[in-house]
Structure 1
Amino acid sequence: MNTKLETSDLRWTNHPADDPEWEEVSGLDDESNSVRTYQICTPNSPSSYWLRTRWIPRRAATILYVEIRFTMMECSGLNQRHCKETFNLYYYQSDSDEATPTHPVWMENPYTKVATVAADHLLRRGGERRSNIKLLRLEPLRGAGLYLAFQSQGACMALLSVRVFYRKCPPLSRAFASFPETIPHSLVEQVTVGVCVENAVTPPGEQSQPPSMLCGEDGQWVGQPTSSCACRPGYEAGETDVRCRGETVSFMYKIKVFI
């Protein structure tokens, strides 16, 4: 999910429904593109105001990242006793898009709390407008999808964009071995489904050990394959270690002239 790519209303859910304080408005991003944002300002109230996204399919990922860009007003300039400079992020897992205005119940349980998010840069009246970016990690995830929920209790803030994504190691050929696109499910994922590239084989005695490699949670391959592949007899390495080509054979032709 990436709200910066949305061209129409986000249609997220407000709670309480009879007193919706989160307001969806159009704004401009850093490149002056029109985006949909949510804002709230209740520095005089300690009540909880919730905002829930639509259902987000998880796909094959078990680790998701949430990138939040937001602004937050400094409380000292608002002169309100209940003002806060933080908000809470929660998520709720489900196997289908089942949420309603009253389900799940609007509280920490059944939601799972991710973090209390604080601003590194606060807005001051007449001061520079600076936004904050926070990257948060969700794991372990098991349901087919999830909802994100934002809870404000006295903050004066705006959600400028929300992006939900996962990382994956791209297809790779290295040391005459080929590995498929891989989604890591832990700090380091061992990939044991590698194969030798065309016209390459594992050396004798290693046939039962296909090439393996490590995929890091940051989407980067780590190190070198643990099982070796080499070009077949009659083939040689190309300009790189990802292709085996036929050997170049030079012939010397002798011409005999008979008189």
Structure 2
Amino acid sequence: MFHKETACLTVFICLSLPVCVSEVLMNTKLETSELRWTNYPADDPQWDEVSGFDDEKNSVRINEICTPNSPTSYWLRTRWIPRRAATTIYVEIRFTMVECSGLNQRHCKETFILYSYQSDSDEATPTHPAWMENPYVKVATVAADHLRQKGSREGRSNTKVLRLEGLRGAGLYLAFSSQGACMALLAVRVFYRKCSPLRRAFASFTETVPHSLVEQAQGVCVENAVTPPGEHSRPPSMLCGEDGQWVGQPASSCACRPGYEAADGDQRCRGETGTLWIS
């Protein structure tokens, strides 16, 4: 199941919190050689990969196309992207789009379509899967918020973050379909969120990948801490949010054993100062 992420991009920014982690699956900004993505139709490739600069003047590999006088859909497919532990991923796309009014072509559009195709291995060929919606799955039609004038390199780029959830295959391909657009893909970053290891309220939690709105993680009491005695005593648990941040406080509680006291806030228990131990 696929949903366009309608919230502001800042929803997915960690805000400098140490408990928010992104695991990057693909980032074209870090590529120093050709991306070697696949064009379709193969006998009339219109997507062109070139070296260029992004808004921060960093050297990047750019894929660009300009076919405002053609009704044909031209596709560009990434290499296979292993999804690792994620069942929900995010695709961040930075791109520029030329304004149609300056091109004066009846087939011109200011949008493109993002598709995905899941597979358990790197099985794609120039003819497989078939270049159409089904077997590909449409993720979203992407529109530009900022347009550039024909022949101008000035103007803001666009950044869109799309969410893909319910992933089951070992990996996937992404495909960009342009029909009449004059545009450039500046960067594509594919990532997922995870909550980093955490100690809180004398409980320890390992790295957790959320597979839904919230993921319940089971923890353990830190060394020299225990859960209170009683028949309802249970191990600590905590919620990891889909944005990669821990939510609230642990359910159930851990406390320092007799003879130990809290240290480093509520992260560990140490022997009480001044305690005389006789063997």
Provide TM-score, normalisation by structure 2.
Answer: 0.87
Secondary structure (helix, strand or coil) at the match of 1:60 reads: coil
How far the C-alpha of 1:113 sits from its partner, in A, is: 0.4
1:42 — aligned with what?
67
1:219 — aligned with what?
244
Q: Give the percent of matched residue pairs that are identical in Structure 1 and Structure 2.
A: 82
2:156 — aligned with what?
130
Q: Which has the higher contact order (CA 8 A, sep 6+)?
A: 2
How far the C-alpha of 1:209 sits from its partner, in A, is: 1.4
1:141 aligns with 2:162: no
2:15 — aligned with what?
none
1:173 pairs with one of 187, 196, 199: 199
Deviations 1:110-131 (A, max 9, x none): 0010000000000014584210
1:190 pairs with one of 216, 234, 237: 216
Shift of the 9–31 alpha-carbon distance from structure 1 to 2, 3 Å rule, reads same
Aligned partners of 1:65 and 1:160: how far apart in 2?
17
How far the C-alpha of 1:207 sits from its partner, in A, is: 7.4
CA RMSD of aligned residues (A): 1.3
Deviations 1:61-104 (A, max 9, x none): 00000000000000000000000000000000000000000000
How far the C-alpha of 1:30 sits from its partner, in A, is: 2.6
Give the unaligned 5+ runs of structure 1: 252-259
The residue type paired with residue 56 of structure 2 is: E
Shift of the 127–161 alpha-carbon distance from structure 1 to 2, 3 Å rule, reads closer
2:109 — aligned with what?
84
Superposed counterparts of 1:157-168, under 5 Å: 157-168=183-194
1:26 aligns with 2:56: no
Deviations 1:181-203 (A, max 9, x none): 000000011112x0000110001
Shift of the 75–20 alpha-carbon distance from structure 1 to 2, 3 Å rule, reads same
1:203 — aligned with what?
228
Deviations 1:204-241 (A, max 9, x none): 02676110000000000000001100000000011400
Aligned partners of 2:227 and 2:32: how far apart in 1?
52
Aligned partners of 1:50 and 1:123: how far apart in 2?
22
2:274 — aligned with what?
249
Is the 8 Å Cα contact of residues 55 and 157 (structure 2) preserved in structure 1? no
**Structure 1 segments of 4 or more deviating over 4 A?**
none
2:30 — aligned with what?
5
The residue type paired with residue 65 of structure 1 is: Y
Is the 8 Å Cα contact of residues 193 and 210 (structure 2) preserved in structure 1? yes
1:121 pairs with one of 141, 146, 153: 146
Count the aligned residue pairs: 250
1:96 — aligned with what?
121
Aligned partners of 1:37 and 1:52: how far apart in 2?
14
The residue type paired with residue 80 of structure 2 is: W
Provide TM-score, normalisation by structure 1.
Answer: 0.94
The residue type paired with residue 246 of structure 1 is: G
Aligned partners of 2:66 and 2:128: how far apart in 1?
25
- Find the structure with the greater CA-based Rg: 1
Give the unaligned 5+ runs of structure 2: 1-25
Secondary structure (helix, strand or coil) at the match of 2:180 reads: coil
Per residue, is there more strand in 1 or in 2?
2
